[in-house]
Structures are given as structure tokens and as C-alpha cells.
Amino acid sequence: MQIRQRLWIYLGLSLAAAAAGTAVARIGETGWTLFGTLFLCVLVATLILEAVGFGSEVDRSPGPVERPVPDGIREKFARRILDRLPFALILIHADGRITYLNDSARIVAPWIERRSHYTNSFRAPMVLDAVKATFADGKSRSADFFVVSGTGERHLQAKVAILPKAFGRDQQRRVVMEIEDLTEKDASAKTRSRFVANASHELRTPLASILGYVETLLGPARDDPEIREEFLRIVHDQGLRMQRLIEDLMSLSDIEFDEHVPPESSCDVLSLAARAAEALRPLVEADGRSISVRLPEDGKKKMAGDPDQLTQVFVNLLDNAVRYGAGTITLELTGADPRFPGMFGIAVSDEGKGIAREHIPHLTERFYRVDASESRQKGGTGLGLAIVKHILNRHRGVLDIRSDPGAGSCFTIWLRDPETRS
């Protein structure tokens, strides 16, 4: 009931009460005073009750938002929600026609035609059997199938369930089907198992060599001091190789663990780079090579970053330039590059044999080496650049690799410039 209607009722009640009061008294001057007093008392009392909310309890009529929404509008709204759901959904009518598919279904399964019979859209016997059986017994089930598309073979899974009979305007049974694309999940599971296989292989090789040499030392070489010396050195080298590998595997797993947690500490990237180069200088110079550091010392690249991890980036890149490069190693702050707006670059370059173009996109994959035996012989693990990539991901940075075979390589790390806040 609206407030204005209620006020009229209260006014009427007040008048009635006052009239009743004066009817029992005599009409005259005192009668009119009694009438007025009673009228005012009842009116004030009802207005107080209204003010403390008594009226709201009485008012049970639906407000404007409560008005019943016509079925057509409700259906349109529900359809819009279904259309935008991130799952691919299809409705199959009892006569086998596909009566509805949402936007995701059009993307995941673009070959499906609305209004066609489902046996025209699905060829995989497992899927056809699943739909038929669900119509028959009402139980939910799933079926895997494969389709060949422009991007290669895709692994899809159809989950089917019966809808309640009363759904929609007619009383026909319908089956709802959700289609999930499992291709990417399969690929990441394959990558994981390939990684475990590679890591085991990398560890098994030096371990087999250690066991072989130790057996010889315990047997035929037991009394030969010269062979013993040589074999013990090999055992020691292989042990170090295993240790390097385990250290790299552990640091990769640590870095991956908090890859999505932005670093809290802050550090001056230029001085970290300069320090890493100075630590390597004696090794480079002992090899008859030189290292040129061209970094300003103004501390202007102080940014949010993990100092240990960023040091590891520079050590890994400089280490590679020492191992696989030749000539002078240069560490420098590069000029801006339109490909990396709002970022500054620090480049590590060498004058070595370079890297053929086809290898470059794969260098940051775990255990990828251009020449596996050269890497092993030089003490590499095949994980250095994978570690660099994950550290840069955490720091929202990018690794850019350029190389001209025969003319050296240049590895540039790009980080967000603290001077150009974005």
C-alpha cells in the first residue's frame, strides 16, 4: 500500500474516533473541544506509528523491481548468460537435432551446425554411443575423441548429461553436452614427463661412469697408482657434474615456485651486472681474453628485483660467453628499442662462432644445447638459459637473442625502466 493511501486512512480513522467521542458527550462548546482533542490525539498516534515503521510491516505489495518478469525476457537473459559461459555447451533435442550451441562451442567445435542431427556433426563412435546411452538411461558419461584441424590433431572430450523434462516450454528430453579441449593439458603433461626423462638421463650418465670407474678401481686397477690417480680424477669430475646439475635443477624449481610472486626487495641492476663481470674477469683474462664493461655508475636503474636472481642472470650469460664465445666479451647498457617500449636493455656479447638461426627460439628450453657434447665437456648443464628466462618472467623482463653465425652472439635482457614509470 502506498504512503498517501495510508495517510488518508489514518485521517478517516481520526475523524471517526473524534465523532464517536463527541456523540457520547453533549454537543456544544465542550463537545467541539472534545472532538478536536480526540481527532488530534488519534492523528498524532498514527503518525508516530508510521514514523517508527509500523506501516512498513503492513505494506506487503511488491515494489517496482519485484514485478514479475515475462517468461520471454527471462529466457533471453538466461540464453545470454549461456552464450557467454567459458565452457562449450550444446543442447541436443530428443529427436537428435542440435537446438543450441553457445559462443564457446562455436570456437571449440566450429564444424557443428545448429539444427543438424548430432550424428552429422559427430563421427566418433564413442561420442555417438554416449549421447544415445544418456538419452536411454539418463546417466551422465564422457567420451574422448580427436579431430584434425589447421593447427594439427586436437584432443577433445565430450561430457553428456540429461536435462530435467520440465526444462523449457515443451516437455521433451534434452541432452546437454560440454566439450573440453584437452590438447594443451596433454602438451604440458608431455613437457613435464619429457623434463623428468631428460633430467634422469642427465644424472644417469655421470652416475654410470662413476660406478664403472669405482668398480675398476676396486678390481683390476687396485694396485696401479697411475691408473688409480687418473680414474679418481674422472670420478671427481663426474661427481662435480652431477652436483652442478642438481644445483641447477633445484634453483630452477625454486625460481618456478615463486615466478608469479613479484619481487619485494629493490636493487641497482647496473651495479649487480658490473659486480658479476668483475668476479669473472680473472677467469677471462687467464684465458687470454678480455672483458669490457660499459655501464654508467649513476645508480639510475634501481628497481624492484631479487638481487640474487638478477646476479644469476648476469653470471649465466657471462658464463656462456666465456664457454662458447671467443674474443672480447662486452657488457653494456643498450639504447632504447621500439620493440621493448618503456624498458632498458643490458647486453652481453661475444665475438665467437655464433648460433645458427634455427636454434635461437629453442635456447631457453630446458636441456636444449646446440652441441650437447661441447656443452658437457665445458661443464654446462643445458639449464642456464631456462633459468634466465624464468627469472626474467618473474621480473616482467624479456630475453632477446641475436646472433650472426661466425660473427658472435648478443644476449640482451630487457627490464622495465624505473625512470619511465608506466
Ligand X SMILES: Nc1ncnc2c1ncn2[C@@H]1O[C@H](COP(=O)(O)OP(=O)(O)O)[C@@H](O)[C@H]1O
Could you list the residues that contact ligand X (CB under 6 A)?
316, 320-321, 324-325, 350, 352, 355, 363, 369-371, 375, 380-385, 409
The answer to whether the CB of 387 falls within 8 A of the CB of 312 is: yes
Question: CA torsion 60→66→71→74, rounded to 10°?
Answer: -150
Q: Choose one: 11-19, 37-45, 143-151, 317-325; the region binding Mg ion (CB under 5 A).
A: 317-325
325 binds Mg ion (CB under 5 A): no
**Residue 131 or residue 331: which is nearer to ligand X going by CB?**
331
Closer residue to ligand X, CB minimum distance, 325 or 345: 325
Asked if 38 contacts 15 with a C-beta cutoff of 8 angstroms, the reply is no
Binding mask 364-403 for Mg ion (x = CB under 5 A): ----------------x---x-------------------
Q: How far apart are CA 347 and CA 413, in angstroms?
A: 6
What are all long-range contacts of 227-236, with beta carbons under 8 Å and residues at least 24 apart?
Answer: 234/209, 235/210
324 binds, among ligand X, Mg ion, none (CB under 5 to 8 A by kind): ligand X
- Nearest C-alpha neighbor of 133 from the set 100, 92, 168: 92
152-184: burial string, b at 16+ Cβ within 10 Å, e else: eebbbebbbebeeeeeeeeeeebbbbbbbbebe
* Partner interacting with residue 305 (select from Mg ion, ligand X, none; CB below 5-8 Å by kind): none
Q: Per rule CB under 5 A, is residue 320 in the interface with Mg ion?
A: yes
Cell of 56: 512498513
Run of H or E including 120: helix 118-121
Nearer to ligand X, 43 or 355 (CB): 355
How many residues belong to the site for Mg ion (CB under 5 A)?
Answer: 3
Q: Which is nearer to ligand X, 18 or 383 (CB)?
A: 383
Answer with the entry of Mg ion, ligand X, none that 129 interacts with (C-beta below 5 to 8 A by kind). Answer: none
- CA atoms of 321 and 319, how far apart (whole Å): 5
Instruction: Identify which of residues 309 and 381 has a Cβ nearer to ligand X in the complex.
Output: 381
Alpha carbon distance 176, 85 (integer Å)? 14
Which CB, 309 or 320, lies closer to Mg ion? 320
Residue nearest to Mg ion (CB): 384
Coil/strand/helix, residue 408? coil
Round to whole Å and give the CA distance between 58 and 1. 8
- Name the minimum Å distance from CB 88 to ligand X: 39
Residue placing its CB nearer to Mg ion in the complex, 303 or 317:
317
* Minimum distance, C-beta of residue 384 to ligand X, in the bound complex (Å): 3
Scanning 21-29, 36-44, 107-115, 314-322 for contacts with Mg ion by CB under 5 A, the matching segment is: 314-322
Q: Which residues bind Mg ion (CB under 5 A)?
A: 320, 380, 384
